[in-house]
Amino acid sequence: MHQVEIATTQETLLDSPEMVLNMGPQHPSTHGVLRVILKLDGETVIDLDCDIGYLHRGMEKIAENRMYTMIAPYWDRLDYIAAVSNGLVWVETVEQMMNLPVPRRAHYLRTILTELNRIASHLLWLATHALDIGAVTVLLWALREREEILKIFERQFGARLTCHAWRVGGMPNDAYDGFTEDVQQFVNNFPTRLDEYETVLSENRIWLSRTVGIGVISADEAVAIGLSGPALRGSGVAWDIRKSRPYAAYAEMDFDIPLGENGDTYDRYLVRLEEMRQSRRIVNQALENLPDGPVNAKLPKIVKPPVGDYYHSIEGPKGEIGCYLVSDGTAQPWRVRVRPPSLINLQALKQLCLGHLVADVVAIIGTLDIVLGEIDR
């Protein structure tokens, strides 16, 4: 299946033949169970192939045999770093298919909590990306801030990672007592922490030599491959679903979309850091204007979308995460298709890595910010 041709022409004794190297699936910097088959000339990558599927759980098939309300917890297990965003795709798809009017307070709480989840996801990306490249300190600091967000999730949803955050028609519970104070405290402390990461990384000569000019992709190629999220915006393409097709309460928020210029690893790092600042801005605004009222719409006893198909997508932390849903009018979906951002972003790996060193492959996998639970489903 993965046959790589090796040219073993040795002109002198000092020449090394081309070599095939297996990276993963147990390699720590592949961020899960990704197997990368590298064809090397010395330390230079001249060909590359990805082998995925080690974490396949058949979630799309499972969804065909569950009621609409039961499918939401499985969505948390796709991109488990951003379970709150993933759950939102599913419930919004079902709601929009059924034309359910969701209360305004639920929309605002969804906006706050998905933005917090974006910050948590970017923090874990920063932690592991910096660790892969060799900056261990940032790992400890970023996980410390992520812990604060996970504590808010635990108090709000009852779980830290796979939250099962939303229900069709709204939320399981209203915000807990002290929710505003907790979020406000995090939002107040966060800019200082972000500045600390920048102090350690942005000017650091080791960080610059490991990221600047590594894994360059031009805007045209990024669009052609279908990249989305920060990986696309790092190349300077202004595409964000929060702006172009607003969902939840994003239409009422004021925020900017950071864009990179060169499309290299360093620009994607800057884009994500700036995105965390913008997320903080959104959380601040939503918290100020948080309306009162119910958080749940009136639901029919059995959730049954009308016959037809529907596609809805949101801007997840890693890119456009979408759901294509086909309903035959029964209580169970006929087909659920996930549009995973990580899988499509991973396709750029070969193009990004060719000509670079093996050590840069680690940096490039980190900068794409993939999660294997989402790729294999």
From candidates 14, 101, 298, 300, binder to other proteins by CB under 8 A: 14
Alpha helices in 57-103 (DSSP H): 59-63, 72-76, 83-98
User: How many CB atoms are located within 10 Å of the residue 321 CB?
Assistant: 29
Spatial distance between the Cα atoms of 217 and 227, rounded to a whole number of angstroms:
10
- Shortest distance in whole angstroms from residue 356 CB to other proteins: 9
Over the window 133 to 162, marking each residue x when it contacts other proteins by CB under 8 A and - when it does not, the resulting string is ----x------x--x---x--xxxxxx--x
Spatial distance between the Cα atoms of 203 and 182, rounded to a whole number of angstroms:
32
Considering only the stretches 202-210, 244-252, 277-285, 288-296, report the one whose residues sit in contact with other proteins under the rule CB under 8 A. 202-210
Give yes or no for residue 311 binding other proteins (CB under 8 A). no
Chain centroid offset of residue 87 CA: 13
> What's the maximum distance between 2 C-alpha atoms anywhere in the chain?
78
- Shortest distance in whole angstroms from residue 140 CB to other proteins: 9
Interface with other proteins in residues 173-192 (CB under 8 A): 173, 176, 189, 192
Residue with tokens 């709480």: 109
Evaluate whether 358 touches 256 at the Cβ level (below 8 Å): no
From candidates 37, 55, 139, 200, binder to other proteins by CB under 8 A: 200
The contacts of residue 3 (CB under 8 Å, 6+ apart) are none
Which amino acid is present at 340? P
Give yes or no for residue 301 binding other proteins (CB under 8 A). no
Interface with other proteins in residues 69-88 (CB under 8 A): 69-74
Name the residue among 60, 63, 56 with its Cα closest to residue 33. 56
Give yes or no for residue 347 binding other proteins (CB under 8 A). no
Give yes or no for residue 217 binding other proteins (CB under 8 A). yes
Give yes or no for residue 297 binding other proteins (CB under 8 A). no
Give yes or no for residue 212 binding other proteins (CB under 8 A). yes
Over the window 225 to 254, marking each residue x when it contacts other proteins by CB under 8 A and - when it does not, the resulting string is ------------------------------
The total number of residues shown for the chain amounts to: 377
Considering only the stretches 9-17, 23-31, 240-248, 321-329, report the one whose residues sit in contact with other proteins under the rule CB under 8 A. 9-17
From candidates 331, 351, 357, 359, binder to other proteins by CB under 8 A: 351
Spatial distance between the Cα atoms of 139 and 132, rounded to a whole number of angstroms:
10
Does the bond joining 17 to the residue before it have cis omega, within 30 degrees of 0? Answer: no
From candidates 51, 64, 66, 358, binder to other proteins by CB under 8 A: 66
Considering only the stretches 200-208, 226-234, 274-282, 319-327, report the one whose residues sit in contact with other proteins under the rule CB under 8 A. 200-208
- Shortest distance in whole angstroms from residue 265 CB to other proteins: 10
Count of residues of this chain found to bind other proteins when the rule CB under 8 A is applied: 52
Question: Which CB, 253 or 303, lies closer to other proteins?
Answer: 303
Name the residue among 124, 127, 135 with its Cα closest to residue 205. 135
Dihedral angle of Cα 246, 247, 251, 257, to the nearest 10 degrees: -50
C-alpha torsion sign, points 80, 84, 90, 93: negative
Phi–psi pair at 15, nearest 5 degrees? -70, 140
Residues that bind other proteins (CB under 8 A): 7, 11, 14-15, 18, 41-42, 44, 46-47, 66, 69-74, 137, 144, 147, 151, 154-159, 162, 164, 172-173, 176, 189, 192-193, 196, 199-200, 203-205, 212-213, 216-218, 262-264, 351, 354-355
